[in-house]
Every structure is written in C-alpha cells, then in structure tokens.
Chain A
Amino acid sequence: AQKVTQAQTEISVVEKEDVTLDCVYETRDTTYYLFWYKQPPSGELVFLIRRNSFDEQNEISGRYSWNFQKSTSSFNFTITASQVVDSAVYFCALVENRDDKIIFGKGTRLHILP
C-alpha cells in the first residue's frame, strides 16, 4: 500500500541555517507523483512542488531545493538560509498513477528562530 513517512515531527533551527525536511515514500506503482505543500501559521495550504516518478532531476527554486532519489524512495526538501517566514508545517504527499487518491505524510513542523 502507498505510504508517506515524514519522520521529523518538529524541527527548530536558527535563522540563516540550512534545514532539510525528509520524506520517504512507499509505492508499488512505477508511475507516481510526489508533492510538497506548506501550511503557514495562518492555516492555508500552499502548493510548493510536484514531481513525477520519471523525472529525477533535482529542482531549485530560490532558497528551496528538492532532492528526489528513487533508489532510496525519498523526496527531501531543503531550505537554504532559512528565514522566520519559512516557519510552517510542511507536508509531503504521494499520488499513484492507478488512481487520484492522495496520501499525505503527517507533516513536519518547522520553527525558524530569529
């Protein structure tokens, strides 16, 4: 069965430090899609990135980068030079190609301390 594990429940770092949020997934499909979402303290959910299983290129968007490794079934998210505004809960999610049901990880609460 599909599963997403975010082992880090809560992380605190000091502003300007780099931080990596881990996401490990399980799936039997060869075609699947991975997502990251951000939920700031205000509560809304914001899409960050989508990656399909055939595209293992790492992605960088400003201070954000994602490392997708099929060999370890991981899709990790790194924030470089963290800022207080990065404080949020971050969710990793998986969709298998067989259906459009989405499975979220339990989330990682990130605190960026000034």
Chain B
Amino acid sequence: EAQVTQNPRYLITVTGKKLTVTCSQNMNHEYMSWYRQDPGLGLRQIYYSMNVEVTDKGDVPEGYKVSRKEKRNFPLILESPSPNQTSLYFCASSPGGGISSNQPQHFGDGTRLSIL
C-alpha cells in the first residue's frame, strides 16, 4: 500500500531533549516536506526536499533540522525542543517535478508533539 509513515504518532517530552520524528515513503517520490499545524495558523511548511541531499527552508525552519540521505526517508530533528514547538506535524511526499507537478501530495497521519 502506498503510504507515508511517520513515527512516533504521539510524543510528550521536555524542553531541551533532542528528538527525531521519522518519515518514510514507499512510493519512490522525489519531493518530501514537513509541515506544522497550529490552531488559527493553518499549515506552515518547515522544510522541503526536492531530492536526495537537497533540502530547502520553508516558512518556519527555525529550531528544526532535516536530512535527506536516502530517497525514502526525511527525518525531522529538533535539537533542543522548546514549548513553542508543541504542534501537530505532517510529513508529505509527491513525485518528481516537485509540488508543482500534477500529482497530489501524499500526507502522513501526523505526529502530535508536546514539549513541556
């Protein structure tokens, strides 16, 4: 089944404790992206990657890191999480040509992070 898989789905942690949210897709998509969703703010793009070893900042990259060493994986790293990073996070992927291709973005089920 074609899917984007995020782990963990839920995480409660404390300020300053490094964490990684994994994202994996099995569709051989070139484009991958991370978003955060906050009440009243909608979805905001954190980072995206057009292909392996190519990453770019979205609208809200501060406090986050990403890597794209393999096509299928695009982990989101919070080196020193803070309470303002408490949010619902989505990973997504789409085929080659980037998001502007005529193919839909496939989203993961989301990861709810709470930073105390």
Contact = CB atoms under 8 A, between A and B. Distances in A.
B101 to A, nearest CB: 9
Contacts of B102: 50
Nearest to B112: A43
A37 B37 CA distance: 14
Interface stretch (A66-74, A77-85, A98-106): A98-106
A100 B42 contact: no
Contacts, number: 59
Interface of A: 6, 33, 37, 43-47, 50, 52, 91, 93, 95, 97, 99-107
B68 to A, nearest CB: 14
Contact of A102 (B45, B104, B107, B110): B45
A101 B100 contact: no
Contacts of A104: 35, 42-45
B98 A50 contact: no
Given A45-B90, A100-B48, A103-B59, A91 B105 contact: no
A37 B45 CA distance: 15
Interface centre among B42, B88, B105, by most chain A C-beta atoms within 10 angstroms, is: B42
A103 B35 CA distance: 10
B48 A106 contact: no
A9 to B, nearest CB: 8
Nearest to B102: A50
